[in-house]
Amino acid sequence: MRAEEWIVLGFGLASALTPLLAADKAPTSGARITARQVVERIKKNVNCQWSADTVDTFKAGDSDTPVTGIATTFTATFDVLKRAAASGRNLIITHEPTFYHHTEDTREVEGDPVLEAKRAFIKEHGLVIWRFHDHWHRHQPDGILQGMTEKFGWQEFRRPGAEPVFRLPETTLRRLAETLRDRLGTDAIRVVGDPEMKLAGVGFSAGASGSVSQMRLLRRDDVQVLLVGETREWETVEYARDAVQEGKPKALIILGHTVSEEAGMEYCARWLRGFITEVPVEFIAAGDPFWVPPGK
């Protein structure tokens, strides 16, 4: 065989082998990736052990669906689903349930027209929904807490320790509530306590952590006001009200569950972009479900 033919043959073999060699590498931009592969990559990038006993599973759609785009959200509301579908994001990563129950047990609402309309939309638009709750909280730093701390603008005020406590420049309860209202974009915040009380120590309990842990956090000497997502009103709320009426320098601000965690899923989108490069990743806000009547 002539030298020229050997060269041609060599180039031909190299071209044939290139796809095989590339197959062992991580997909690059433009490659097809399935919803299942996205989740497997998430499992490799969280820094906590993955548990089999978890709500972090697929909730709707085919996990082998090729992904055209990813939307992270606090909860996959009907509006979020419509916006995701319209923007070509067919994998929705949600923090909270899609079907009105922590474990997505729909036995009590089977056949309900609201449930069925949502299911029909998901199927019609080929959407896939996966929940990212347990392990996003277990990841260090806690993904929800990290996102909310950045949203508050309190990164430099975090005190050492496992519990989220912040030492802010001295302010009043009224000013703090107004600042949170404006920064979080909601008018539905509720407050227990003296508006003119001066404070610096703030505890934060996102979501629905439970009254026992909420009251324990508010009991701390370095916490004057506790921010919570939601709570039973006859427990933490009444504990805070009694503390105020007893003359203790304590207060409670109820943000609402969505408002207290949503920025954590905005942060999740930024985190995912660090290792998901094949498709666009965006955050879609569910938004505060509550509104208040305007004042007179």
User: How confident is the model over 176-200, as a mean pLDDT?
Assistant: 97
Please report the pLDDT score of residue 23 as a whole number: 33
CB contact at 8 A, 50 and 138:
no
Q: Do domains 35-140+261-283 and 155-255 have the same CATH topology?
A: yes
pLDDT computed for residue 161 by the predictor: 87
Q: What is the CATH number of domain 35-140+261-283?
A: 3.40.1390.30
pLDDT band at 47 (very low <50, low <70, confident <90, very high): very high
**Which has more confidence, 49 or 5?**
49
In the chain, where are the structural domains located?
35-140+261-283, 155-255
Confidence of residue 31 (pLDDT cuts 50, 70, 90): low
Is residue 125 within 8 A of residue 85, CB to CB? The reply is yes
CA distances from 105 to 101, 147, 166, 257 (A): 6, 29, 37, 21
Q: May I ask the CATH architecture of the domain 155-255?
A: 3-Layer(aba) Sandwich (3.40)
- Residue 11 CA, distance from chain mean position: 49
Q: What is the mean pLDDT of residues 18-30?
A: 39
Kindly state the percentage of the chain with pLDDT values over 90: 87
Helix/strand/coil for 70: strand
pLDDT number for residue 3 = 44
Q: Are strands 225-228 and 198-205 parallel, antiparallel or unpaired?
A: parallel
- Dump pLDDT digits (tens) for 135-186: 999 999 999 999 999 999 999 999 998 899 999 999 999 999 999 999 999 9
- Report the percentage of the chain scoring pLDDT > 70: 90
